[in-house]
Each structure stands twice: as structure tokens, then as C-alpha cells.
């Protein structure tokens, strides 16, 4: 039932919580929508969507109704969530409660989760190193609790991704630090670099999307940043200004080395043989 239909029903009474599948659900809880079979086009479109409970109400016949707003509704960013068409009402039997955030944090603390984030611009020569590494790594068979994603130059996307609970984040990027081109290095970033404003080691202030600045923004937004690793490769070129688009020969050869390094690091973290989060060089 959408809000236009619901406005036709009078004598609504707000309630604090309702029990669904043995779980007390209240405003602010996250749920999955499972509309009844044989519904209309809107029911089909909303099936499987996740949402946040905005209110719980009881009509004059004693029936309970759950008012939700969708997680993916673009109106959330425009402040339109209380406008008609942005809220939907469902019967309790059409709602599946999802674990609360505290429970998700507790589960994440018990089970490692890893984000491997590729960073770089494919149109700037060796700056595309991270993108190519992620492309090849995504072909590997990895555990389900490892997320591999190419963020390219989309700094805001990476910032929001870091709001999720990860025990370790591994950034993959071109990393100019005075080594022979094609040299692959593993560095654990010091939390103070992205929590206190000024990086203690300016060399990790990489180009393009500025990963350190992204980490600082994510931390300022409340992200619980724990272990942050950087798998970086010394570049030979940085693109059009040097008349070169695509990876140089030494960096192209380093891609396979970086993929093998990442697979090994992921295995060590999940097996408990590598500790990340000390802020010390790896």
C-alpha cells in the first residue's frame, strides 16, 4: 500500500514496536521487503529491496502497518523522504527483519572482512595500475567476505564504501616513491596520517584521487577505519603529458606480481597469520 492509499484510512494509531518473525521491530530498524504474491507492478518492483522503518501504525480495525523508506531511494539525499511517493506501507507478514547495526558490528568483529580497492586513471599511463590489478584479481577465486572493487577516480564512492565495516582495507595504486619503475611495495598506513589532518609521510600522498584525503574524509564521516594497507607500484609514466597512454612495460609486468601479493596477503589475514592495524611498515 503506498502513501496515497494509506491517507484514505482514518484513525491511525502510532505504536512503538511490532513483533515480526519473533523479532521486535521498531522505527529505525532495517528490513527486507517481501510483498505478497499476486501484487501490482509496484509490489514486483519493491520485492527484495531493503528499507528503514520510519513508523509503525495500527488502523481502526486493529491491523498493523509498517511504514518504510527505501535504502536506494534518491530522495534520501534530497530531503524528500517524507513526501508522498517516497514512503510505503506494508503488512508485517510482508517484512523480513534484518540484523541491527550493533549485531552487524559484532559479527564483523568476529569474522574478518576485507575491501580491496583499485584506484587510478586508465588515461594517465601507469596511473591505471590499480585498475588493471583489480581487473585481474576479480578473476581469482576469493572468499565471500572479500570485496574487490575498481573505484578508478571516484573518490566519493570509495569514501562511502569505507563506511561499511571492514577489518582491513587494501588500496591498490601507482605509488611514486623513488624506486625502480615496476617495483611493487606493501605499506601499512599509519592511522595518524588520516585522522589528525597532516600526513607524517608525505610520500604516501598519492596522485589523482588522493587516497589519504579520501581516508581522512571517511574518518571524518565516522568510518571505523582499522587496518589500511597500500599495494603500490613505482610508475614510469603518468600519461598524456609524457605522450604515453596505457601501462609501461615494467608496470605491466608488475601487475601479476601485485595480484599474487594480494592473494597471499588476503590468505594470511583470513588465516590469522598477518596482523594489520599497527600502523607499522609491513
| 173, 155 contact by CB (below 8 A) | no
Per-residue pLDDT at 61: 80
- Which pLDDT band holds residue 16 (cuts at 50, 70, 90)? confident
pLDDT above 70 coverage of the chain, percent: 71
Residue 205 has pLDDT above 50, yes or no: no
Burial of 222 from C-beta contacts in 10 A (0-12 / 13-18 / 19+) = exposed
Q: How far is Cα 10 from Cα 195, in angstroms, rounded to an integer? A: 52
* All three cell numbers of 240: 598524456
- Which pLDDT band holds residue 225 (cuts at 50, 70, 90)? confident
* All three cell numbers of 81: 523522504
Contacts of 58 (CB under 8 A, 6+ apart): 12, 13, 15, 64, 65
| N-to-C CA span, the chain | 55
Per-residue pLDDT at 210: 65
Residue 261 has pLDDT above 90, yes or no: yes
Say which CATH class 3-98 falls into. mainly beta
Per-residue pLDDT at 203: 35
Between 110 and 43, the more confident residue is 43
Average the pLDDT over 41-57 and give the result: 83
Per-residue pLDDT at 161: 78
Burial of 207 from C-beta contacts in 10 A (0-12 / 13-18 / 19+) = middle
Per-residue pLDDT at 87: 80
- Which pLDDT band holds residue 250 (cuts at 50, 70, 90)? very high
Q: What is the pLDDT of residues 80-109, one digit of tens each?
A: 444 445 688 888 999 898 876 545 455 545
Strands (E), 74-131: 88-90, 95-97, 114-119
Per-residue pLDDT at 18: 87
Per-residue pLDDT at 239: 58
Between 14 and 90, the more confident residue is 90
Residue 226 has pLDDT above 60, yes or no: yes
Per-residue pLDDT at 254: 93
Q: How far is Cα 169 from Cα 147, in angstroms, rounded to an integer? A: 10
Residues of the chain with CATH 2.30.30.490: 3-98
Residue 54 has pLDDT above 90, yes or no: no
Burial of 114 from C-beta contacts in 10 A (0-12 / 13-18 / 19+) = buried
Q: Domain 104-271 falls in which CATH fold?
A: Rossmann fold (3.40.50)
DSSP, residue by residue, 173-225: EE--SSS-TT-EEEEEPPHHHHHSSS-S-GGG--STT-HHHHHHHHHHTT---
Per-residue pLDDT at 105: 52
* Chain position carrying cell 609514466: 237
Residues of the chain with CATH 3.40.50.1450: 104-271
Per-residue pLDDT at 252: 93
The pLDDT mean for the chain works out to 76
Average the pLDDT over 13-18 and give the result: 78
Amino acid at each position: 500500500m503506498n502513501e496515497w492509499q494509506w491517507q484514505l484510512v482514518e484513525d491511525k494509531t502510532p505504536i512503538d514496536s511490532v513483533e515480526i518473525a519473533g523479532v521486535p521491530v521498531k522505527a529505525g530498524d532495517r528490513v527486507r521487503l517481501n510483498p505478497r504474491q499476486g501484487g501490482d507492478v509496484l509490489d514486483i518492483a519493491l520485492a527484495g529491496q531493503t528499507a528503514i522503518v520510519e513508523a509503525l501504525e495500527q488502523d481502526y480495525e486493529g491491523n498493523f502497518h509498517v511504514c518504510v523508506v527505501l535504502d536506494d531511494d534518491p530522495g534520501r539525499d534530497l530531503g524528500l523522504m517524507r513526501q508522498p511517493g517516497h514512503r510505503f506501507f506494508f503488512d508485517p507478514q510482508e517484512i523480513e527483519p534484518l540484523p541491527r547495526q550493533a549485531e552487524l558490528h559484532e559479527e564483523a568483529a568476529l569474522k574478518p572482512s576485507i575491501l580491496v580497492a583499485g584506484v587510478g586513471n586508465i588515461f594517465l599511463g601507469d596511473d591505471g595500475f590499480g585498475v588493471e590489478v583489480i581487473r585481474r584479481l576479480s578473476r581469482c577465486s576469493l572468499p565471500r567476505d572479500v570485496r574487490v572493487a575498481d573505484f578508478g577516480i571516484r573518490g566519493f564512492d570509495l569514501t562511502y564504501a569505507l563506511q561499511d565495516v571492514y577489518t582491513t582495507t587494501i588500496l591498490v595504486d601507482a605509488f611514486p616513491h623513488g624506486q625502480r619503475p615496476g617495483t611493487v611495495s606493501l605499506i601499512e598506513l599509519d592511522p595518524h596520517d588520516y585522522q589528525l589532518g597532516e600526513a607524517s609521510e608525505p610520500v604516501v600522498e598519492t596522485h589523482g584521487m588522493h587516497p589519504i584525503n579520501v581516508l581522512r574524509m571517511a574518518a571524518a564521516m565516522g568510518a571505523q577505519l582499522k587496518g589500511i594497507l597500500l599495494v603500490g607500484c613505482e610508475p614510469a609514466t603518468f600519461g598524456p603529458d609524457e605522450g604515453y597512454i596505457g601501462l609501461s612495460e615494467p608496470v605491466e609486468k608488475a601487475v601479476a606480481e601485485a595480484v599474487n601479493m594480494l592473494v597471499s596477503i588476503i590468505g594470511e589475514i583470513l588465516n590469522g597469520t598477518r596482523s594489520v592495524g599497527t600502523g607499522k611498515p609491513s
